[in-house]
């Protein structure tokens, strides 16, 4: 597999504010990259910089085989062969569906144009709507037109800015799988931006977590999920709950009992001993205790498709170790206010420094 | 929302107001259509076809030049990094304050055979007579069109610039990512999206052109407006004048329909969040062209005529002139203050009815009262004469019956007719300003006072009217200035010996002696600047 896109030390300053700082990223041909991070972290700016709508202040963008965009060698968006799907779809309101899709087709004969548009219309199930105007379409149909329009000039890279944010939550999953299938079928390389961690795990081959203009971690979804590099990544992806820990001579103390030091891994690895420390507690590692006295109280009950989710607070009143909101999943029904005895099961503990 | 027991009274009042404003035009149309005078058929066989084709040609040329000036100016200011943009942005609106007939007079003075430009040329090149060289003749239909376009293009500039600035920038980005250059995407996306705004602006220019009287009269270009004037004042034939006015109304109707259609097309124009326009960086050559283009318009449309006027005013200032100025100035003020106050009050009543009344017909009074804007002053004057003349006769007959003194022409020959006509003409301006103010008040505020135990009578002054204060001021100011400037309606309807600033200046222009009225002309222009300055200040505060 070849690398299609390489970003090195990319920095962007807008209105005297550093929006992107030293971004490094690469993407292989045919892969889908999910760019995820909180609102305002610079995701859309990164997308716009790759597309060419914003000029970088430092760093290079390299697109296989021969586009090298660096300081002093800006390449106009129309020469980059990068397609884009906008959050609001940005369909031309004065053109029909057909004209929208054909918009970017240049240097083709009339017949070739017709074949290409017809192909896309049927690929995206838009045959019945080709004569309509964008405002006569539903949100999902508009999205499909936007996709068809962006695919028409056969871009090397497709950028999608929050593609599912305007879609009804109930239909979102289905549309995501459909679009992923389509992109895979066309062997399209794509980057999509979202602030929704569920989307990124459904849609992406590779994910990159951003915060405050930097890429915190990138890699395969499972690798990032299992080994988050620091607490921001784990916190944003909501991989587990945070259980405060205090270091003893031979073990870690927590409000749910002591845990062994031998199995603890520390993140980030390079940092020395800093306070406070937290154990990343995934729901499957929190179990009912047979021999302990009650140590948590149920504050909130949520019914989900896989049983009950409880938010727990500690009964212990210790400034350092007490906690407010730890998630616990169970098939067993408990009442709000009920007190339980829980413990942390043995596993490779992940200890984070905030 | 219900207005309680005042409901019917309020409704009745607003319908009556709206109908009163439109009735004279209906009367004029009926009288015009049923006219059977010999003069009309004579005119029809002789000069009317020329007048009609002149009117059409004038409209076409003025719209063409206004678009030629206004659209590029809008594009330069909204899309590029042209130098001095901050100032040019509002300087380009200043020509609106210049009455076209003043510009026409001043440029004729400048470019005529006896004017300083040709004199200088003759001296420099030693030409002796007109046969030795060619110089454009400004007193033609082409000249009149350029003069009108020089002061009307700001309508195009303002509307189209706003439309450009409200466009969803993602649409332009989308076109770029689909392979279009900046220039191509301007032609294929930006311009088509602004088409409704361009059409609205073009129809406004069309209406203003149809309403112009003094410029074409001064240039001796015979159009329908001048024909109405001549027929009435020279032949004294009211019904023929009405008939010609009715023909002119047909033209106006076309402009109104075009405007309404264009506005409907603006519906799916987006005003979304991605409005940070990425300015096009101009090359040195482009920068030069853009700067020259914009400054040419500002100088030709405002600075040059204004300076000429200033010089005239300083050179010819005299006590005598000040006296004339004082009396006509007071008359102008009277007319403008009455009109502005009444039009604003009526607009308030109609707009509040539309807002607070829950009947399906509620918006019609407001709409009906706005039609007058499209009607040229000459036509309106005919309408007033057609309606108020017979009314005056009835009143006088009635007085005789009652055995009291005849009141004379108290309606048609007084300030009443002028103020009424101007109100009809400018109601739309006041309506627009107040209605857009009302639409900015959240609907929940209609109900909030009631939930706090206040009746509508108590809450209206406290909530709606106090929120509307800025809009009321704008409405008043705009109508005031338009009423100051309006010429043909006042010219035709004024009582004997009643001069306003504009009629006085018109007389002096006709006699080629503007010098003696330069001070008054300056005053009209300065008043015209008021709303532009005010609106610009408001815009920069947002």
Report residue B148's pLDDT band, with 50, 70 and 90 as the boundaries: very high
B173 and A53 in contact by Cβ < 8 A? yes
B177·A82 Cβ contact <8 A: yes
The model carries a pTM of 0.79
What b/e readout covers B396-406, taking b as 16+ CB neighbours within 10 angstroms?
Answer: beeeeeeeeee
User: Does the N-terminal peptide bond of residue A268 adopt cis geometry, omega within 30 degrees of 0?
Assistant: yes
Query: Is the pLDDT at B57 greater than 80, yes or no?
Result: yes
Q: Specify the pairing of strand A326-330 against strand A264-267.
A: unpaired
Most B CBs within 10 A among A92, A148, A193, hence the mutation to make, goes to: A92
Q: Quote the tokens at residue B72.
A: 């590029």
How far CA B176 is from CA of B66, B121, B136, B181, in Å, comes to 30, 51, 45, 6
A307 bridge partner residues: A304
Task: Tell me how close the Cα of B190 comes to any Cα of chain A, in angstroms.
Answer: 10
CA distance A245 to A277: 6
Q: B165 vs B540, which has greater pLDDT?
A: B165
- Strand partners of residue A157: A82, A189
A92/B195 Cβ within 8 A: no
Q: How far is A3 from chain B (nearest CA, A)?
A: 22
**B97 DSSP 8-state letter:** G
B 124-183 residues with CB below 8 A of A? 168, 170-171, 173-182
* CB < 8 Å to A83, chain B: 177-178
Give the least confident one: A131-145, A187-201, B10-24. B10-24
Count other C-beta atoms under 10 Å from residue B264's C-beta: 10
Nearest by CB to residue A94, choosing from B178, B182, B193, is: B193
For residue A142, the SS3 value is helix
CA atoms of A207 and A209, how far apart (whole Å): 7
Rounded Cα distance between A333 and A340, Å, is 12
Q: pLDDT at position B541, please?
A: 58
* A215: β partners: A210
Distance separating alpha carbons of residues B84 and B298, to the nearest angstrom: 13
In chain A, the residue whose alpha carbon lies closest to the alpha carbon of B195 is A94
**Residue B292: pLDDT band with limits 50, 70, 90:** very high
> Quick check: B542 pLDDT over 60?
no
Q: How far apart are the first and last CA of chain A?
A: 37
Residue B267: band (very low, low, confident or very high) from pLDDT cuts 50, 70, 90 = low
Q: Which of B174, B182, B188 sits opposite A86 (nearest CB)?
A: B174
- At A236-254, the pLDDT tens digits run 888 888 888 887 777 888 8
Indicate the SS3 state at residue A81: coil
Predicted pLDDT at B293: 96
SS (H, E, C) B21-89: HHHHHHHHHHHHHCCCCHHHHHHHHCCHHHHHHHHHHHHHHHHHHHHHHHHHHHHHHHHECCCCHHHHH
Q: State whether B272 and A92 contact (CB < 8 Å).
A: no
Q: Does A156 touch chain B (CB under 8 A)?
A: no
Residue B3 is predicted with a pLDDT of 47
- Indicate if the pLDDT at residue B522 is higher than 70: yes
Tell me: pLDDT of B109 over 70: yes
From residue A229, give the alpha-carbon distance in Å to each of A236, A238, A283, B230, B471: 12, 14, 19, 89, 58
| Tokens found for residue A245 | 């820990």
CA-based end-to-end distance of chain B = 31
Asked if residue A230 lies in contact with residue A320, where contact means CB atoms within 8 angstroms, the answer is no
Residue A77 near chain B (CB below 8 Å) = yes
CB A93 within 8 A of CB B270: yes
Average pLDDT over residues A246-269: 78
Burial A183-210 (b: 16+ CB within 10 A, else e): beeeebbbbbbbbebebbbbbbbbbbbb
Cα–Cα distance between B13 and B25 in angstroms, integer? Answer: 20
Tokens of A32: 């889908």
Chain A residue nearest residue B178, CA to CA: A104
Q: How far apart are CA A267 and CA A282, in angstroms?
A: 16
- Asked if B272 reaches chain A (Cβ–Cβ under 8 Å), the answer is yes
Question: How far is B474 from B480, CA to CA, in rounded Å?
Answer: 10
Three state DSSP letters for B243-272 = HHHHHHHHHHHHHHHHHHHHHHHCCCCCCC
What mean pLDDT is predicted for residues B397-410?
79
Range scoring the smallest mean pLDDT among B52-61, B239-248, B254-263, B414-423: B254-263
CB contact under 8 A, A88 and B272: yes
- Pair A159, A50: CB distance under 8 Å: yes
User: B518-541 vs B304-316: helix axis angle to the nearest 10?
Assistant: 140
> Which are the contacts of A169, defined by CB distance < 8 A and separation ≥ 6?
none
Convert B287-320 into a string of H (helix), E (strand) and C (coil). Answer: HHHHHHHHHHHHHHHHHHHHHHHHHHHHHHCCHH
The nearest CA of chain B is from the CA of A160 a distance in Å of 12
ipTM given for this complex: 0.77
Calpha distance A267→A351 (Å, rounded) = 6
Cα of B250 vs its chain's centroid, Å: 19
SS3 B113: coil
B495 touches A: beta carbon within 8 Å: no
Q: Which of B170, B176, B177, B262 to mutate to test the interface with A (most CBs of A within 10 A)?
A: B177
Q: What does the pLDDT look like over A22-78, one tens digit per residue?
A: 899 999 999 999 999 888 888 889 999 999 888 888 889 998 888 888 887 888 888
Among the residue ranges A133-147, B126-140, B174-188, the one predicted with the least confidence is B126-140
Q: Which of A57-71, B420-434, B527-541 has the lowest mean pLDDT?
A: B527-541
Highest mean pLDDT of the ranges B211-215, B235-239, B274-278: B211-215
Does A92 touch chain B if contact means CB atoms closer than 8 Å?
yes
Mean pLDDT, to the nearest integer, of B26-40? 76
CA-to-CA distance for B450 and B2, rounded, in angstroms? 11
Nearest CA to A25 among A217, A225, A180? Answer: A217
Residues B240 and B470: their CA atoms lie apart, in Å, by: 44
* B67 confidence band (pLDDT: 50, 70, 90): very high
> Cα B433 from chain centroid?
14
Is the pLDDT at B25 greater than 50, yes or no? yes
Give the closest of A84, A106, A135 to B173, CB-based. A84
Could you tell me which residue, B383 or A1, shows the higher pLDDT? Answer: B383
Check B177 against A51: CB less than 8 A apart. yes
Q: Residue B48: CA atoms inside 13 Å, Cβ hemisphere, count?
A: 16
- Please give, rounded to a whole number of angstroms, the shortest distance from the CA of B275 to a CA of chain A: 12
Percent of chain A's residues with pLDDT above 70: 98
Q: At B441, is the pLDDT very low, low, confident or very high (cuts 50, 70, 90)?
A: confident
For residue A128, give every residue at least 6 positions away whose Cβ sits within 8 Å of its Cβ, in sequence order, or none: none
Angle between helices B377-402 and B7-33 (to 10 degrees): 100
pLDDT tens profile A312-350? 988 888 778 888 888 999 998 999 999 888 888 888 888
Chain A residue numbers with beta carbons less than 8 Å from the beta carbon of B171 are: 90, 92
Does B181 sit within 8 Å of A92, measured CB to CB? no
Distance CA B429, CA B531 (A): 12
Q: How many A×B Cβ pairs under 8 Å?
A: 71
With a cut of 70, say whether residue A181 has pLDDT above it.
Answer: yes
Contact between residue B105 and residue B98 where contact means Cβ atoms under 8 Å apart: no
Task: Kindly list the residues from chain B whose CB atom is less than 8 angstroms away from the CB atom of residue A101.
Answer: none
Mean per-residue pLDDT, B480-509: 87
- Nearest-Å Rg of the Cα atoms of chain A is 25
pLDDT at B1: 47
The rounded distance, in Å, linking the Cα atoms of A78 and A113 is 19
**Residue A75: per-residue pLDDT:** 85
A52 contact B CB<8A: yes
- B271 to chain A, any CB pair closer than 8 A? The answer is no
- Rounded-to-integer distance, Cα A196 and Cα B235, Å: 80
| Chain A residues closer than 8 Å to B265 by CB | none
Q: Which two tokens stand for residue A295?
A: 């140590």
């Amino acid at each position: 597999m070849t690398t299609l896109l390489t970003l090195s030390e990319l920095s962007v300053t807008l209105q005297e504010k550093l929006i992107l700082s030293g971004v490094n990223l690469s993407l292989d041909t045919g892969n889908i990259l999910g760019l995820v991070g909180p609102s305002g972290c610079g995701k859309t700016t990164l997308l716009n910089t790759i597309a060419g709508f914003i000029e970088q202040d430092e760093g290079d963008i390299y697109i296989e085989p021969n586009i090298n965009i660096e300081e002093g060698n800006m390449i106009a968006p129309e020469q980059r062969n990068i397609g884009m799907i906008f959050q609001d779809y940005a369909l031309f309101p004065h053109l029909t569906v057909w004209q929208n899709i054909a918009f970017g087709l240049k240097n083709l004969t009339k017949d070739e144009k017709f074949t290409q548009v017809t192909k896309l219309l049927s690929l995206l199930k838009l045959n019945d709507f080709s004569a309509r105007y964008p405002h006569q379409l539903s949100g999902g149909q508009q999205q499909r037109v936007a996709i068809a329009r962006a695919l028409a000039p056969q871009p090397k890279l497709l950028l999608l800015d929050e593609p599912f944010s305007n879609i009804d939550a109930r239909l979102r999953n289905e549309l995501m799988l459909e679009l992923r299938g389509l992109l895979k079928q066309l062997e399209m390389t794509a980057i999509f931006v979202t602030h929704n961690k569920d989307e990124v795990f459904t849609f992406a081959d590779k994910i990159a977590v951003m915060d405050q203009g930097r890429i915190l971690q990138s890699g395969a979804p499972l690798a990032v999920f299992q080994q988050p590099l620091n607490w921001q990544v784990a916190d944003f992806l909501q991989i587990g709950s945070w259980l405060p820990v205090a270091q003893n001579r031979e073990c870690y103390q927590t409000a749910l009992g002591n845990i062994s030091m031998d199995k603890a891994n520390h993140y980030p690895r390079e940092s020395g001993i800093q306070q406070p420390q937290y154990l990343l507690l995934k729901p499957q590692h929190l179990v009912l205790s047979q021999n302990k006295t009650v140590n948590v109280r149920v504050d909130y009950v949520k019914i989900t498709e896989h049983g009950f989710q409880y938010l727990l607070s500690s009964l212990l009143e210790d400034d350092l170790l007490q906690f407010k909101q730890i998630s616990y999943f169970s098939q067993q029904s408990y009442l709000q206010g009920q007190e339980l005895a829980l413990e942390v099961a043995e596993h490779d503990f992940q200890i984070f420094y905030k | 929302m219900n207005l309680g027991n005042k409901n019917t009274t309020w409704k009745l009042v607003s319908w009556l107001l709206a109908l009163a404003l439109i009735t004279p035009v209906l009367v004029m149309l009926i009288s015009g259509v049923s006219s059977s005078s010999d003069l009309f058929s004579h005119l029809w066989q002789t000069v009317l076809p020329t007048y009609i084709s002149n009117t059409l040609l004038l409209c076409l040329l003025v719209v063409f030049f206004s678009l030629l000036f206004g659209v590029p100016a809008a594009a330069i200011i909204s899309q590029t990094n042209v130098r001095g943009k901050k100032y040019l942005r509002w300087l380009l609106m200043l020509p609106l304050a210049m009455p076209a007939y003043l510009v026409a007079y001043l440029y004729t003075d400048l470019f005529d055979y006896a004017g300083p430009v040709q004199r200088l040329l003759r001296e420099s090149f030693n030409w002796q007579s007109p046969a030795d060289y060619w110089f454009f003749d400004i007193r033609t239909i082409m000249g009149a069109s350029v003069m009108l376009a020089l002061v009307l293009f700001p309508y195009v500039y303002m509307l189209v610039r706003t439309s450009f600035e409200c466009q969803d920038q993602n649409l332009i980005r989308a076109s770029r990512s689909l392979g279009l250059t900046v220039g191509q995407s301007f032609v294929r996306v930006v311009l088509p999206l602004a088409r409704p705004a361009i059409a609205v602006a073009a129809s406004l220019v069309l209406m203003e052109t149809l309403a112009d009287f003094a410029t074409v009269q001064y240039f001796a270009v015979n159009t329908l407006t001048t024909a109405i004037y001549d027929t009435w004042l020279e032949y004294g034939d009211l019904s023929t004048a009405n008939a010609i006015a009715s023909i002119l109304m047909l033209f106006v109707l076309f402009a109104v329909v075009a405007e309404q259609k264009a506005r409907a097309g603006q519906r799916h124009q987006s005003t979304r969040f991605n409005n940070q326009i990425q300015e096009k960086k101009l090359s040195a050559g482009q920068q030069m062209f853009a700067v020259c283009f914009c400054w040419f318009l500002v100088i030709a449309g405002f600075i040059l005529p204004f300076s000429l006027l200033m010089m005239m005013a300083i050179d010819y200032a005299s006590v005598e002139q000040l006296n004339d100025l004082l009396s006509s100035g007071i008359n102008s003020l009277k007319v403008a203050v009455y009109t502005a106050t009444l039009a604003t009050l009526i607009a308030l009543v109609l707009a509040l009815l539309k807002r607070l009344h829950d009947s399906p017909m509620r918006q019609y009074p407001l709409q009906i009262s706005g039609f007058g804007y499209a009607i040229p002053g000459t036509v309106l004057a005919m309408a007033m004469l057609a309606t108020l003349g017979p009314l005056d006769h009835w009143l006088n007959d009635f007085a005789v019956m009652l055995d009291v003194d005849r009141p004379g022409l108290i309606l048609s020959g007084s300030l009443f007719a002028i103020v009424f006509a101007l109100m009809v003409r400018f109601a739309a301006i006041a309506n627009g300003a107040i209605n857009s103010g009302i639409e900015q008040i959240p609907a929940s505020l209609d109900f909030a006072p009631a939930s706090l135990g206040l009746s509508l009578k108590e809450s209206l002054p406290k909530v709606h009217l106090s929120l509307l204060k800025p809009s009321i001021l704008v409405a008043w100011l705009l109508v005031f200035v338009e009423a100051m400037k309006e010429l043909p309606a006042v010219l035709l309807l004024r009582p004997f010996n009643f001069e306003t600033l504009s009629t006085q200046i018109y007389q002096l222009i006709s006699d080629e002696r503007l010098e003696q009225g330069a001070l008054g002309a300056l005053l009209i222009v300065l008043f015209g600047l008021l709303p532009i300055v005010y609106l610009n200040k408001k815009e920069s505060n947002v």
